[in-house]
Amino acid sequence: MLKLNDPMIQELLKTHPKGGNEMFNDVAIQEILMGITNDEENSVSIIKCMLEGKTTDEEIAEETEIRLNIVRRVLYKLYDAGIASYKRSKDPETQWYTYSWKFEEKKVFEILDEKYEKLSQELNESLEYEEENMFFVCKGNHQRYNFEEASENNFTCGECGSPLEYQDNSAIITELKQLKDRMN
């Protein structure tokens, strides 16, 4: 069930992400990076560095002054999520491999689109559910019941036993419709 007070909804609705460094001002994008690496601050520095053309983990570590093992850890997490890719090349003299990393900006926008799509779907389902059901609540602010659930409970609260009261959900429906309008 959609939580109307989820701040992520507002962030998604506000989001108009542009490419390049500006995207990091976007809270919805910050949330995505946080969800992937659990380390938003270093992720943003590392990605900005890639956007500036630094490609190897050593270059990135030097430029950002982030420890090399942290740079690598973030890069691999981004790689797992498809947000970074790398090319491996062998130095003909030393026979050592070099990894050139690239930030996959397109994938970030794909993830954002998916979130938006999911929210839109949840919104439609919630609206349908609110419109097709009657609701009952406990005065003690306990659970909310639809008609079937309430009648199974003899119209009493399962938590405290108080009688349930009919709830006018038209304000919820209005709010869901407004959200829906803002999404289109």
- Say which residues have a Cβ less than 8 Å from residue 75's Cβ, sequence separation at least 6: 46, 57, 60, 84, 86, 101
Min dist CB 129 to Zn ion, Å, is 22
Min dist CB 170 to Zn ion, Å, is 23
Which of 56/146 has CB closer to Zn ion? Answer: 146
Q: Which residues bind Zn ion (CB under 5 A)?
A: 138, 140, 142, 157, 159-160, 162
For residue 172 the two structure tokens come to 């919820």
Which of 100/156 has CB closer to Zn ion? Answer: 156
Q: What is the CA radius of gyration of the chain?
A: 24
Amino acid identity, position 130: E
Write the DSSP symbol of residue 89: E
Q: Are 103 and 50 in contact (CB under 8 A)?
A: yes
Which of 4/160 has CB closer to Zn ion? Answer: 160
From the list 140, 134, 138, the residue with the least C-alpha distance to 164 is: 138
Distance of CA 99 to the CA centre of its chain: 29
What's the length of the chain? 184
Min dist CB 136 to Zn ion, Å, is 11
Min dist CB 164 to Zn ion, Å, is 8
Which of 89/162 has CB closer to Zn ion? Answer: 162
Min dist CB 4 to Zn ion, Å, is 22
Write the DSSP symbol of residue 135: E
Which of 141/174 has CB closer to Zn ion? Answer: 141
